[in-house]
Structure 1
Amino acid sequence: MPRGTTPLDVAAGTWLTHLAVERGAAANTLAAYRRDVARWLAHLHGLGRSDPREVTEADVSAFVVGLRDPRDGAAALSAASAARALAAVRGLHRFWVLEGLVDVDVTREVRAPQLPRRLPKAMGVDAVVRLLDAPDPGTPLGLRDRALLELLYATGARISETVRLDVDDVVGSDGALVSVLRLTGKGDKQREVPVGSHARAALDAYLVRGRPALLGAAADPRALFRNSRGGRLSRQSAWVVLQRAAETAGLPEPGGPAVGPHLLRHSFATHLLEGGADVRVVQELLGHASVATTQVYTHVSVDALREVYATSHPRAR
């Protein structure tokens, strides 16, 4: 952020100090805020503003437009980057209101740039089966990897939710594997998800022949999924498991979805909807707070329906 001495610069610096000292913002977060605030101050100085009380809603709107369509030869920001910059400016002005530096938050009514709607991509069922069958069941790590992948697809769980599972979460008091799994998602919100027979069989094989062999000085007696040293499998290592299995299975296919941490979760949701599941049921299974988040998958299913219609109906073309 440029070093200025106007009341505007001082007030912006106070907010950044507040974020660093009182809010404990991470270094990368602070760096991003400093860049965005520097852009904002440069915009305001160009308009002749020197005090927070001089800033208007029109100044904010012009700033957002300028980020996407700069007139000074600077590179245009993406919609996501412009939205992030506006979020920083909003945080700054809310702070000024709370501190009594201004009476009104002039950013409140300014709309962020419309972000492009990115539809999640899912694998076909055949590709999923190839992925799940990729790990070698003849080794302890292969048994673990197959159980992990089967569970991810069977429940639609996030990788982070899966690696935090303990043995007691999947084995009931009677010693049998549970048919309904309780997952802890974002904000420690819990949900219950059924576990299919294939996933239970893979879990049983792993618990009997795989997990006991994964021992070491760091052995975790509670962790369901262990690493080669016996400790709890990390989210990053689980992501590597997915990548390795995809490579073995020859994925991604030409034109198919890229391998990502949510690949099986996206496939889980899409296949349920294509099979006739209600969107609100899928919402509960995924742990989405709003059904609007889940409805993005209905667009994927509609596209699949259109393709089937186009290739099947005699008068569709």
Structure 2
Amino acid sequence: MAFDEAIETYLVHLGANKSAHTVKAYATDLAQLAAYLEDRGLSGFGETTEEVLRQFLVLFKDYQPSSRQRKVYALRAFFAFAQAMGWIDVDPMADIAAPTVRKRLPKVLSQSEAEALVEGDEQTNPRDRAVLELLYGAGMRVSELASLNIEDVDFERCTASVRGKGNKPRMVVFGTPAREALFEHLGARRKKRREPVFVNEEGRRLSVRTFHRIVVRAGTKIGKRAHPHALRHSFATHLMEGGSDLRVVQELLGHASLRTTQVYTHLNLDRLRNAMESAHPRGREDEGGRGKK
């Protein structure tokens, strides 16, 4: 099979399981590889050896580790697919390791800061308050909010059916404050089940960028830098601080792996450690490593 045709076939396969964002990123990475091979007069899988791929990846040595890691993941997935399809016998990416990316702990708001941001002021309109309630009160992703339709929401049970990462369906749970905010925002439009929950003045679905602006504006009012994912992080952290089980938090966030959720355990431990160090005489350490009296 021709290399370009193989890429197209793989991207169609990828689109059935991954988000549009992932497909676009992988398509860019594979297009760059195809262009690299063409510039060097290489064609087909037969000439795409491990050494050729290593030389290709060296071109991106000055990129951020996360970007280089994604490129390796994209190539790995493509060549693994090619091997599974019988297009190649040996996977040239099998022994190429991805760079390690140090995972940074997410920044979160305190509970009082999050409450103040969501409550807003007299100038906060019902639509924006409903957005903030669902981001913080339900831990929704901004992409899930953007695609949410009225028919997806069960107002009696305070739940919503959404499509998460990889287009996987999941159930979101929200509280009474979010339901009341939705009632106020939607008004009589609540009966128009097939319409988007969040629309602009022209009746069109809100863009992801608009959701970001709503959160940034709300954060500015309380003197904090905020973005949609910070509210999701805050939602998870405050659940952990309140004693929620890690697997419950995993379910509420829609994480496929418990490992992804465990970052909030580390974050909560850091907060507990800081509180102990600042408040308890035996919580601090001197230069010798012993607690101060």
- TM-score range (shorter-chain normalised) is 0.7 to 0.9
Q: Is the 8 A contact 1:166 1:222 kept in 2?
A: yes
Mapped to 2, the partners of 1:53 and 1:166 lie a distance apart of 48
**Post-superposition offset of 1:21:** 8.0
Matching of residues 21-32 of structure 1 within 5 Å = 23=11, 30-32=27-29
Q: CA RMSD in A?
A: 3.8
Mapped to 1, the partners of 2:79 and 2:152 lie a distance apart of 46
**Post-superposition offset of 1:132:** 1.0
Matching of residues 52-63 of structure 1 within 5 Å = 59=51, 63=55
Q: Is the 8 A contact 1:220 1:231 kept in 2?
A: no
Mapped to 1, the partners of 2:235 and 2:29 lie a distance apart of 35
1:185 aligns with 2:169: no
Flag structure 1 segments of 5+ consecutive residues without an equivalent.
Answer: 1-10, 253-258
1:228 aligns with 2:201: yes
1:200 alignment partner in structure 2? 179
The higher radius of gyration belongs to: 1
Query: CA 1:178–1:228 in 2, change beyond 3 Å: closer, same or farther?
Result: farther
AA in 2 matched with 1:234: S
Q: Is the 8 A contact 1:119 1:300 kept in 2?
A: yes
AA in 2 matched with 1:16: D
**Post-superposition offset of 1:150:** 0.9
**Post-superposition offset of 1:185:** 2.0
Structure 1 residues 204-243: Cα deviation after superposition (integer angstroms, max 9, x where no partner): 33234xx76x9xxxx9963322322233333332222112
The equivalent position to 1:150 in structure 2, one of 133, 138, 152, is 133
Structure 1 residues 101-122: Cα deviation after superposition (integer angstroms, max 9, x where no partner): 7532132133211112122211
Mapped to 2, the partners of 1:16 and 1:264 lie a distance apart of 41
Query: CA 1:196–1:106 in 2, change beyond 3 Å: closer, same or farther?
Result: same
Structure 1 residues 248-295: Cα deviation after superposition (integer angstroms, max 9, x where no partner): 23222xxxxxx3331211110011011111110000001111111111
2:142 alignment partner in structure 1? 159
**Post-superposition offset of 1:193:** 3.5
1:111 alignment partner in structure 2? 97
1:35 aligns with 2:32: yes
2:230 alignment partner in structure 1? 263
Mapped to 1, the partners of 2:158 and 2:87 lie a distance apart of 57
**Post-superposition offset of 1:296:** 1.4
Query: CA 1:40–1:282 in 2, change beyond 3 Å: closer, same or farther?
Result: farther
2:7 alignment partner in structure 1? 19
TM-score (normalizing by structure 2): 0.75
The equivalent position to 2:257 in structure 1, one of 290, 301, 304, is 290
Query: CA 1:84–1:60 in 2, change beyond 3 Å: closer, same or farther?
Result: farther
Flag structure 2 segments of 5+ consecutive residues without an equivalent.
Answer: 16-22, 285-293
Mapped to 1, the partners of 2:261 and 2:160 lie a distance apart of 20
Instruction: Say which SS state the counterpart of residue 228 (structure 2) adopts.
Output: coil
- Identity, in percent, stands at 36
**Post-superposition offset of 1:79:** 2.2
Q: Is the 8 A contact 1:60 1:106 kept in 2?
A: no
AA in 2 matched with 1:111: A
Q: Is the 8 A contact 2:135 2:228 kept in 1?
A: no
AA in 1 matched with 2:32: R
Query: CA 1:104–1:245 in 2, change beyond 3 Å: closer, same or farther?
Result: same
Q: Is the 8 A contact 1:134 1:246 kept in 2?
A: no
1:312 alignment partner in structure 2? 279
Instruction: Say which SS state the counterpart of residue 91 (structure 2) adopts.
Output: coil
Query: CA 1:167–1:53 in 2, change beyond 3 Å: closer, same or farther?
Result: closer
Instruction: Say which SS state the counterpart of residue 123 (structure 1) adopts.
Output: coil
Q: Is the 8 A contact 2:76 2:94 kept in 1?
A: yes
